[in-house]
Amino acid sequence: MKGLPIIDLAIIFIYLVGMILVGVYFSRKNKNSEQFTKASGLIPGWAIGLSIYATFLSSNTFLGVPGKAFGGNWNAFVFSISMPLAAWIASKYFVPFYRNTGEISAYTHLENRFGAWARVYAVICFLLTQLARMGSIFFGIALSLQALTGYSMQMIMIVMGICIIIYTVLGGIEAVIWTEVVQAVVKTLGALLILYLIITNMPGGVSKIVEIGKSANKFSLGSLKFDFANSSFWVVLLYGFFINLNNFGMDQNYIQRYHTASSNAAASKSIWLCVWLYVPASLLFFIIGSCLYAFYNVHPELVEVIKHQVAIERLPIHSSATKILEVQNALQPSDYGDKIMPHFMVTKIPIGLVGLIVSAILSAAMSTISSGMNASATVFSVDIYKRYFKPNVTDKQNLSLLHVATIGFGLLGMIAGIAMIGVKSILDVWWELSGIFAAGMLGLFLLGIISKKTKNHEAIIATMIGIAVIIWLTLSALLPSEYEMFRNPLHKNMTIVIGTLTIFLMGITLTKFKNRKLTS
């Protein structure tokens, strides 16, 4: 399209201005760093729960999940099924642990437990994870809005980034949480509206969608065989459990929210509210993906239009029509799944409603990015600047630092998003990167909190071995064919599972060996 109708642009503009005004409103309260990072511990549990839910329900879910379901099946939904167990562990052990320490950073206790190196390592892993998360979300929102507006993806990321930076810097964590409460409602209603529009545009309605979905095996959760080389049910279940354990136990985005609650009970309830909202919401997006598959199945001419666009994007400028057609015919549904939702919005959603749905997608992106910016700035302030550069920084100086760091991480997130332009699946790239960066710090955290006898020396060795294993799991696929026997035989989503267990089990083994040697 050349551009959205005026009414849709007006709705989007009003939404963006509204988010900025929220930041302006809360800026009156942000007179110190504690208010900026903790909101003085006065946020109600239900608001925190909606905020965590909104952070989970990012544009990766809004765009990536329907694309994943379109190109495959409901295998990735198993990730959501794993959440209740991780939430139970977090509410029972992690919430009391963090709130009792009183430390705003999730990583301060690692230094107390093992030394400065452990804190630095976890901080690096966290910041890399945040850049990957923000980058994938910037990319996802730009992918959608490019189809709707015709503007370049780089331009969209810059404009969006500026808006997010403004309200996050002005409002602090309180603005982030309360805007996420609004965004949680907006994005959920937006998803329901999209589902309604697909069904009403579908010849044969729900029964035809179910018929086509069953024939194409679109509702499968994956193979139940104990196959860890492919994306089986068990691989996604394990991946989901370990990632969610990391989210609830090591991710500053969530740890920081525990401190904004008025009590341990309120913080724990916020986790459960997030789970009970996110599991059905994520299922809703898989249903949307299956509905889109059915809709485009009965409109194959529209699929060819999308495939043609993807083929042009993948080829150099001025490629021949023959080459374009060759690439177009070779494309599989998984190659263009992320393009389906934007195309449906462009062609089938009435004027006025497009603006509302785009606002929902924007809210999905903005909530997670703003949360990541605030958490990253907090970690940089507490774990890096105050720890190594200026321990006696005044509160006024610290607040200024938080503002500058928030802007800096917002800009880095935009750069990461621009670097991701051209990836095949938003969800795949986010899952892979998060698994790589989260594996090490989760293993170290579990070792420190469970194995009380493990000391600095054993933790260092276990972490070094774990890093080596993670590097091998990640990069061994690049080995030449003559060294194929040394390649990682497991699915890439197993990286966080193997990496975490390597550090944790190796640390316990070394501790037992040392204790046995001392007593012999």
Angle CA 157–284–9, to nearest 5: 35
| Structure confidence at residue 286 (pLDDT) | 95
| Structure confidence at residue 510 (pLDDT) | 93
Structure tokens at 178: 């309360």
Structure tokens at 246: 């990391």
Rg of the chain over CA atoms, in angstroms? 23
CA distance 308 to 193: 28
Q: What is the pLDDT averaged over residues 353-376?
A: 78
The overall average pLDDT reported for the chain is 85
| Structure confidence at residue 498 (pLDDT) | 94
Structure tokens at 507: 């640390």
Nearest Cα neighbor of 62 from 341, 446, 434 is 341
66-75, 218-227, 332-341, 506-515: range with lowest mean pLDDT: 332-341
Which has more confidence, 400 or 338? 400
Decide: 33 and 399 in contact? Cβ < 8 Å.
Answer: yes
CA distance 148 to 348: 12
Query: What are phi and psi for residue 2, nearest 5 degrees?
Result: -75, -25
Question: Which of 10-19, 267-276, 510-519 is the most confident on average?
Answer: 267-276
Measure Cα distances from 338 to 328, 341, 343 in Å: 16, 7, 9
| Structure confidence at residue 101 (pLDDT) | 80
| Structure confidence at residue 425 (pLDDT) | 66
Structure tokens at 394: 């005044």
Measure Cα distances from 484 to 276, 436, 468 in Å: 44, 21, 18
Which tens digits make up the pLDDT trace of 223-255? 999 999 999 999 999 999 999 998 888 888 788
Structure tokens at 114: 């093992």
CA distance 187 to 306: 25
- Give the helix ranges, DSSP H, for 202-232: 205-215
Which tens digits make up the pLDDT trace of 400-436? 888 899 899 989 988 988 888 776 666 677 677 777 7
Whether residue 1 is predicted with pLDDT greater than 50 in this model: the reply is no
Which tens digits make up the pLDDT trace of 447-494? 988 888 899 999 999 999 999 998 898 888 888 888 888 899 999 889
CA distance 270 to 48: 6
Using pLDDT thresholds of 50, 70 and 90, give the confidence band for residue 77: very high
CA distance 377 to 355: 32
Measure Cα distances from 138 to 162, 418, 515 in Å: 12, 8, 49
Whether residue 365 is predicted with pLDDT greater than 80 in this model: the reply is no
10-24, 138-152, 388-402: range with lowest mean pLDDT: 138-152
Decide: 260 and 48 in contact? Cβ < 8 Å.
Answer: yes
CB neighbours of residue 486 within 10 Å: 10
The separation between CA 374 and the C-alpha centre of its own chain, rounded to angstroms, equals 15
> In the 3-class helix/strand/coil scheme, how is 118-155 assigned residue by residue?
HHHHHHHHHHHHHHHHHHHHHHHHHHHHHHHHCCCHHH
Which tens digits make up the pLDDT trace of 266-324? 889 989 998 999 999 999 999 999 999 999 999 999 988 888 888 887 888 788 888 88
Supply the angle between the helices 153-201 and 252-260 in degrees, to the nearest 10.
Answer: 80
Whether residue 41 is predicted with pLDDT greater than 70 in this model: the reply is no
Nearest Cα neighbor of 55 from 371, 275, 273 is 371
Q: Quote the pTM value.
A: 0.84
Measure Cα distances from 271 to 54, 176, 364 in Å: 12, 17, 19
pLDDT > 70: what percent of the chain?
A: 94
Whether residue 338 is predicted with pLDDT greater than 70 in this model: the reply is yes
| Structure confidence at residue 16 (pLDDT) | 81
| Structure confidence at residue 161 (pLDDT) | 86
Name the residue ranges covered by the structural domains of the chain.
Answer: 6-422
Q: What is the pLDDT averaged over residues 50-69?
A: 79
Nearest Cα neighbor of 413 from 161, 77, 192 is 161
Whether residue 2 is predicted with pLDDT greater than 60 in this model: the reply is no
CA distance 116 to 113: 9
Q: What is the DSSP string of 399-466?
A: HHHHHHHHHHHHHHHHHHHHHTTT-S-HHHHHHHHHHHHHHHHHHHHHHHHH-TT--HHHHHHHHHHH
CATH of domain 6-422: 1.20.1730.10
Which tens digits make up the pLDDT trace of 146-204? 767 777 888 888 888 888 888 778 777 777 777 778 878 887 888 898 899 999 999 99
CA distance 405 to 244: 27
Measure Cα distances from 128 to 46, 135, 365, 388, 442 in Å: 30, 10, 18, 20, 14
Question: Which of 124-133, 227-236, 346-355 is the most confident on average?
Answer: 227-236
